[in-house]
């Protein structure tokens, strides 16, 4: 599917404007997009992106953005609530057109359109009605791209009102709902490619930290053995299990939620930029890793507030349930099902590990170091499990 991108007409550049552009390097990313902080409509329309949004009929709403540009923390998006000309509430997501983030915004729009045909679905166990956030338009203006989506309200008081079991049931329902959707033209990720790429990243990370050539050779040999195990597991899995729609980041922060008068939760799934067609074990493996992060919220109370909306802590007490969901995918062969699940836990851990490495290269934050260490711990445990399982199978 090709995203319909609306390009703004080129405008004649005055000498003064050319002079302004030479000073862009000294301005923050937020200033370049939104212009200088001001309440003046005239000033807003003359500079920055705020005027462009206003010209297209998207008016600012009082309040702070959901996210704002902060390259030091790896945040390359501005996300805020607006109203269109009809008064409908929308969300604008702004990033730089050039580079991976601009391309990612186009891909996210394609994915929203691909999943548009999916109907709402009620999950009895979760007591929730699930749907996908809808795209309005994607357009480009100068250096920046903007994705506009419908605004999905969310009631913050539900974080305290919903029981831990209900939250976990909603996350499990989220995965089930995504897997029930027709894939449309979502990208398909070959399972062996996912593993090969992840293992190369892991091998490079370990090799860079080796103290000598002998250790590098040992690491290469061990990675070769691990790759052989994983590739065989993925081939076996592909022969037994079909493809489904994968969200890529199932957590409480990616569900906008309100409660109806009958107690039903209206759950709108957002942030589907990582959605693809893949393995039914993948989202459950991610959920399992997040359940391990629940310990972080308990051991480091200073970060409990930052992690609270993600529901990691609630997941910590449901690890057995998450594993049981995964093992139950192939009810007639639970041993094989667990093997495939552990294989995907390794894949997910490697991806998260490299993600935290990239974040730490930009901002040496304690919370990133803590999450990286926990991810490494879970990774090591599951690599050990796969090696033992492989040895048991070959005996």
Answer whether 270's CB lies under 8 Å from 256's CB. Answer: yes
Q: What is the pLDDT of residue 349?
A: 93
Rounded to two decimals, what is the model's pTM? Answer: 0.84
pLDDT in tens, the chain (395 residues): 443 333 333 333 333 333 333 344 444 444 444 444 434 333 333 345 677 788 889 998 888 788 887 766 667 888 999 999 999 999 999 988 888 888 889 999 999 999 987 789 999 999 999 999 999 999 988 788 999 999 999 999 999 999 999 999 999 999 999 999 998 889 887 776 666 777 787 788 788 888 889 888 888 888 888 889 999 999 999 999 999 999 999 999 999 999 999 999 999 999 998 999 999 999 999 999 999 998 887 888 888 887 889 999 999 989 999 999 999 999 999 999 999 999 999 999 988 988 898 888 888 889 999 999 999 999 999 999 999 988 765 54
Q: What is the pLDDT of residue 55?
A: 85
Which string of DSSP letters, residue by residue, matches 144-170? EEEEEEE-----TTHHHHS-HHHHHHH
**Alpha carbon distance 221, 217 (integer Å):** 6
Q: 312 Cβ partners below 8 Å, 6+ apart?
A: 251, 290, 291, 293, 294, 296, 297
CB 114 within 8 A of CB 184: yes
- What is the pLDDT, as a whole number, of residue 174? 98
The C-alpha atoms of residue 304 and residue 273 are separated, in whole angstroms, by 26
Instruction: Give residue 95's region: left, alpha or beta (phi > 0; psi -120 to 50).
Output: beta
CA distances from residue 319 to 101, 122, 307, 314, 325 in whole angstroms, order as listed:
33, 24, 18, 10, 10
The whole-angstrom separation of Cα 47 and Cα 145 is 16
Return all residues near 343 (Cβ < 8 A) that are at least 6 apart.
195, 230, 233, 234, 237, 281, 386
């Amino acid at each position: 599917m090709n995203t319909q991108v609306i390009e703004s007409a080129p405008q004649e550049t005055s000498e003064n404007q050319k002079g302004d552009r030479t000073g862009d390097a000294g301005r923050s990313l937020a200033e370049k997009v939104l212009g200088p902080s001001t309440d003046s409509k005239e000033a807003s329309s003359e500079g920055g992106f705020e005027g462009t949004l206003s010209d297209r009929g998207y008016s600012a709403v009082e309040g702070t953005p959901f996210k704002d540009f902060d390259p030091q923390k790896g945040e390359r998006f501005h996300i805020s609530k607006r109203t269109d000309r009809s008064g409908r509430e929308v969300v604008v997501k702004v990033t730089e057109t050039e580079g991976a983030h601009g391309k990612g915004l186009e891909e996210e729009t394609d994915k929203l359109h691909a999943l548009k045909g999916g109907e709402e679905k009620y999950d009895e166990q979760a007591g929730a009605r699930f749907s996908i956030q809808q795209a309005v338009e994607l357009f480009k203006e100068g250096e920046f791209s903007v994705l506009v989506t419908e605004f999905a309200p969310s009631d913050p008081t539900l974080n305290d009102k919903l029981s831990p079991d209900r939250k976990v049931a909603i996350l499990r329902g989220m995965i089930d709902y995504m897997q029930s959707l027709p894939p449309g033209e979502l990208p398909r990720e070959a399972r062996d490619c996912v593993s090969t790429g992840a293992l190369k990243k892991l091998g490079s990370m370990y090799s860079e930290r080796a103290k000598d050539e002998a250790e590098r050779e040992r690491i290469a040999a061990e990675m070769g053995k691990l790759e052989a195990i994983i590739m065989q597991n993925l081939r076996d899995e592909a022969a037994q299990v079909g493809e489904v729609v994968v969200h890529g980041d199932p957590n409480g922060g990616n569900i906008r939620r309100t409660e109806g008068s009958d107690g039903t939760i209206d759950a709108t799934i957002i942030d589907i930029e990582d959605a693809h067609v893949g393995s039914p074990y993948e989202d459950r493996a991610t959920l399992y890793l997040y359940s391990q992060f629940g310990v972080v919220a308990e051991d480091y109370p200073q970060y409990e507030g930052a992690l609270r909306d993600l529901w990691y802590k609630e997941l910590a007490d449901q690890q057995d349930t998450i594993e049981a969901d995964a093992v139950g995918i192939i009810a007639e062969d639970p041993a094989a099902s667990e093997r495939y699940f552990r294989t995907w836990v390794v894949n997910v851990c490697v991806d998260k590990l490299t993600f935290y490495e990239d974040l730490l290269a930009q901002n040496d934050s304690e919370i990133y170091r803590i999450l990286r260490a926990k991810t490494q711990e879970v990774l090591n445990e599951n690599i050990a499990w796969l090696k033992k399982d492989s040895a048991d199978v070959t005996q």
